[in-house]
Amino acid sequence: MSDAVTCGWFDARVVTGAHPASLQPATDRDAVAAHLDRFELSGALVSAMASWLHDPIGGNAEASALAHSLADRGVLACWSAVPATPGELDSLTELVERAVDEGVAAFRIHPASHGFAPGLLDELYAALQANRLPLCIDAAEITWPELTAIATRYPELPIVISNLGYRKLRELWAALDGHTNIYVDLVDFAAHQGVEWLAANDLADRLLFATGFGLRDPGESVVRLAWSGLDDATVRLVGADTASRLFSGGRS
């Protein structure tokens, strides 16, 4: 095993902004930069806490502002979307077009938190698929049948599940086995030997390193992958290579 393989990972989930009920350090620009330094990361995908917990569309500006200020560090923005609703959002297609113009690398949706059915976002999924932008979603925000329905209807749309917890391997397996466009990141991917189990079943290329910095303790995912039972090549695949392939940006 080589220690060098633990450098240059891409953190596929960072959240900027304050959380109202968590003892977490601030995740402003300087904190994200320090996070990149501390773990020698090659970059990160950043969404805004405000998009999740306050203003879904308006909060996207905070993600982009941070991404722009750390663009030279490989930081990319992830925007949030809600169904087109008069007064809130005119068009999902236009939102994605605007995101592509601004260099946004992925979208995140929060159907449970934002009170809508995932089926109301077909326009978004089609636009993301056309622009090769991944869709990110927390496991608690969607049901497995809803998730797999999206994956089936949009087979070229990469879907990254986050915050899986430790109790969902039965459902995860069914989703991964039946849909080559579903991925899972390491934020709270807490099942004992879950990483090694997926790799042993030839699904290491569906795993992405991510810490959830801003929501979770980044030490969880860092140590989980660094001290995993994976060989160096697979650590590099999970740590950086799959993210590099998925988050190359729209129209690239």
Partner 1 sequence: MIGRRPTHRIIDVHAHLGPYSLFYIPDPDAATMVAVMDLTGTAVTVLSANRAIQQDAHLGNSQSLAAVDAHPGRIAAYAVINPWQDPERELERLAADERFVGIKVHPSLHRYPVTGARYAAVWEFAESTGCPVLSHSEHQSAYDAPAMFQTVAERYPGAAVMLGHAGITPAGVAEAIEAASRYESLWLEVCGSQMTGPMISAMVEQVGSGRVLFGSDFPFIDQRMSLGRVVCAPLTESQRQDVLSGNARKLFRWRPLPGERGVDDE
Residues that bind partner 1 (CB under 8 A): 1-3, 5-7, 21-25, 39-40, 165-170, 188, 190-197, 216-224, 226-229, 232, 235
Residue in the structure block whose two tokens are 């326009």: 123
**Rounded to the nearest whole angstrom, what is the least distance from the CB of residue 196 to partner 1 in the complex?**
7
**Rounded to the nearest whole angstrom, what is the least distance from the CB of residue 17 to partner 1 in the complex?**
17
**Rounded to the nearest whole angstrom, what is the least distance from the CB of residue 206 to partner 1 in the complex?**
16
Which of residues 39 and 125 has its CB atom nearest to partner 1 in the complex?
A: 39
Which of residues 18 and 149 has its CB atom nearest to partner 1 in the complex?
A: 18
Q: Give strand pairing partners of 182.
A: 159
**Rounded to the nearest whole angstrom, what is the least distance from the CB of residue 197 to partner 1 in the complex?**
4
Q: Classify the C-alpha dihedral 166-213-177-174 as positive or negative.
A: positive
Number of neighbours of residue 97 by Cβ within 10 angstroms: 14
**Rounded to the nearest whole angstrom, what is the least distance from the CB of residue 116 to partner 1 in the complex?**
27
Number of neighbours of residue 252 by Cβ within 10 angstroms: 9
**Rounded to the nearest whole angstrom, what is the least distance from the CB of residue 14 to partner 1 in the complex?**
15
Residue in the structure block whose two tokens are 């240059």: 8
Q: Structure tokens of 39?
A: 């773990």
Which of residues 117 and 233 has its CB atom nearest to partner 1 in the complex?
A: 233
Which of residues 124 and 235 has its CB atom nearest to partner 1 in the complex?
A: 235
H helix intervals, the chain: 29-38, 49-53, 60-69, 92-101, 111-114, 122-131, 144-153, 169-178, 194-200, 218-226, 232-236, 242-246
**Rounded to the nearest whole angstrom, what is the least distance from the CB of residue 218 to partner 1 in the complex?**
7
Which of residues 58 and 229 has its CB atom nearest to partner 1 in the complex?
A: 229
Residue in the structure block whose two tokens are 């809130």: 88
Which of residues 91 and 227 has its CB atom nearest to partner 1 in the complex?
A: 227
Cα–Cα distance, 229 to 235 (Å, whole number): 9
Number of neighbours of residue 123 by Cβ within 10 angstroms: 17
Residue in the structure block whose two tokens are 């976002």: 121
Can you say how many angstroms the Cα of residue 1 is from the centroid of all Cα atoms in its chain? 28
Which of residues 18 and 130 has its CB atom nearest to partner 1 in the complex?
A: 18
Q: Give strand pairing partners of 44.
A: 11, 75
